[in-house]
Structure 1
Amino acid sequence: MDRFAVIMAGGAGSRLWPLSRESRPKQFIELCDGKCMLLQTIDRIREIVPYDKCFIITNKKLFDITRKTVEDIIPVSNIILEPMRKNTAACIAYAAMILKEKAGQGVLCFIPADGYVGDENSYRAAVMQACRAAEETNNLVVIGITPTYPSTGYGYIHIASEKAENGAYKVERFVEKPDLATAERYMKSGDYLWNSGILVGTAEAILKNVKKYLPNHFDSLSRAVKAENNGQLPLAIENAYNMLENISFDNGVLEKCSAISAVKGRFDWDDIGSLGALPRVLGTDKDGNAIKGNYVGIDTSNTIICGNDMLVAAVGVNNMVIAVTQDAVLVCPKDRVQDVKALVGRLKEKGLERYL
């Protein structure tokens, strides 16, 4: 069975402001290894899925930057454009319909474009195992990450204790981000995995479950895809998206579905959901500082410093975030990084969209 990768690259990344902007969200910025996260994701998957079977789904406003980023690697015809952001249920359902029309049956690997992976060989082994499980069972398969610390920032997957012959585990349930005490209990149990957001399944299995649990998504998008294929109603997909509920695939489908398997991913992973993730990605110096760019400091510790070409100088700073770009500076305590998204909302309220 043919295998396809669908890289989901339409997110806004507002929690990483000011590094991440609406015109260049976090999947297009370089944090480490000299490549943006989108290109790193493509590199990771290429030994499993050839470039011509690698697709990218993104917001139509990001078409130009996506095309320029992947030119000479991914065919431009493999870029699928969403008219607006309506969360991952719309993204996955629409892409699955497009792929089924273009390629018929096959296993689809939906992969977020903005994750950090430490051990790429173990990552590829997990994706291959998920593909085999999806082919053998025609179930949906997710990749969960063995927790390395009790994170309160990730959703979790509760799995059965015994694994099947194909090496996957039955998913008992999906759980939302827990408090610290619950996260510690999850980690000690050994039966909970971090939810990586990676989904694997045949086009048939994905669309069957969308039809069952999100019938409005299925009906609206099916009509739009047929209209587009017939050269009718250029705004068909935009009209369809306007009718869709803004809901994630996890909430809309996976939490309701009983036939789901999970593969354990035994590799370092981070969704880089906020600036607070940068020490895990960049590493730290002897004072516990995570540094990207030019920095000179005295008595500064446990601080995240991003200056790129701008020099950042700090004296007596502890447990802070300092992020500097050409037109904006963010300073906040490390334990308030989740409030950066609210700060972005405040900038919009004040009519300061030019900084977003």
Structure 2
Amino acid sequence: MPQSLSTTITSPPPAAPAAPAPAGPPVARRSRVARLRRNPGQPLRHSRAAGRLAVLAYHGVTDPRSFGAQLDRLRRLATPVSLPDVERAVTEGRPLPPRSVLITFDDADRTVLTHALPELAARRIPAAAFVIAELIGTDQPFWWLEAEHLAQHGGRARAMGAYGGSGQLLAGLKALPDPDRRRSLQELRVSARCQAPRQEQLRPEDLHELRAADVAIGNHTLGHPSLSRCDDHTVLAEIHGAHEILTKWLGEAPAAFAYPDGGYDPRADAVLRQLGYRLGFLSDHRLGPRLPTHPLRISRLQVDSTTSIRRIDSLLSGLQRSGLARLLDPLRRPAAAG
């Protein structure tokens, strides 16, 4: 940290610099939003977005009512499609309908079954859930939640160093080579004052219930490592091991894969091709093409069950990277109230 300095002041201190002008009251900000919406280029952006595939990437669903409101909005604005729909479009070379949207869930905690499925089934909207295979049928918490709890209760690991908060802790663990990450997690378990609470995960029979309700099951590796920090053998073991487990439980091989942490890895791409996977999903916060040109690198938009209806609109309209989207963010409201 910088040293503190002691200074004797014999004359009045200089005037403090003027504070930066405020961003403007909400009314003024909304006025700018309205002007952007009337921008002549917006209809063209909307038209282009209508011809692209929007894949929404959720994790858990914490607010079923808000999630239901999002689904109602999607039914009005877009055409929900299923994982098999996207697969057929790729294999047959036929574009999906205009404004197609696919709903996906990564990690697939039990709220996908308890909160999301009733809302999806009530509206007959298909989806896909990408599961961490080694957690199915266990009460083992997600490793990142476990690490955060252990660190908050005195857990220490040699490779971690000093981190200012849970976000830095997780970023540091993810940046480690995978053997070091696993070893650090074990050191956290040994040194913490108390262990992380158990977390009931989906069971094999739950996977069948989801699939029967038009929620396809996909591969999300065995243990959710950052594949870019894994050696070649671990990349193969993480994908192939999960593939074998899911094939045994489901009675058929999964055809879709979601990259942990959303980052593409060419070695994983090669393994997926060898295993016959037809779809692979990133988390790069982009719209995808109406007919995916790189089926193992399909873009997705990150959302959650509390994302505002206004934000959902801007994402589906292709505005998520525009000045309009940046202005809309401070105006977000709970989706259930949207």
| TM-score tier after normalising by the smaller chain length | under 0.3
Higher helix share goes to which structure? Answer: 2
- Tell me which of the two structures has the higher relative contact order, counting C-alpha pairs closer than 8 angstroms and 6 or more residues apart: 2
Which has the larger strand fraction?
A: 1
